[in-house]
Copies of this chain bind each other. A is one copy, B any other.
Amino acid sequence: MHDPDSFGCRAFTAVLQRIGDKWSLLIVSVLADGPKRFSELRREIPSISQRMLTLTLRGLERDGLVSRTVTPSIPPRVDYELTQLGQSLRKPVCALAEWAMANIDVIHTSQTRFDRANGEKV
């Protein structure tokens, strides 16, 4: 982000408008382990609804980050996998995920303190 112009800012903004939601980065981080079926993703991310999983995967496929492979068997089987572009996102996303794991407690503590400090004057 040390551009003289604001190209970096606009590019980052544009990307965040797409994958800066509650699920996209998480799904990328889960698929970083390797290809997964639809139902496996559901199991690994219990808090997501079927609808949002479908929509998010569709968006990632549209961005070229994830590939979708249908095996027309009975029962049907659909595998999702990071594309080459998705693979290149692996490192930054996993770095972010590790930061999250390392700091979730600090964040939660800070939130509690902030809420207490501001809740008193109600």
Contact = CB atoms under 8 A, between A and B. Distances in A.
Interface string A55-75: 000000111110000000000
Interface in A1-30: 1-2, 6-9, 11-18, 20-23, 25-26, 29-30
Interface residues of A, number: 55
A85 to B, nearest CB: 6
Contact of A26 (B9, B22, B62, B91): B9
Interface of A: 1-2, 6-9, 11-18, 20-23, 25-26, 29-30, 32-33, 44-45, 47, 61-65, 85, 88-89, 91-101, 103-104, 106-107, 109-111, 114-115
Given A93-B96, A106-B64, A1 B29 contact: yes
A104 B64 CA distance: 11
B45 A26 contact: no
B6 A63 contact: no
Contact of A95 (B6, B25, B62, B91): B91
Contact of A62 (B15, B33, B115): B115
Contact of A88 (B17, B97, B99, B110): B99
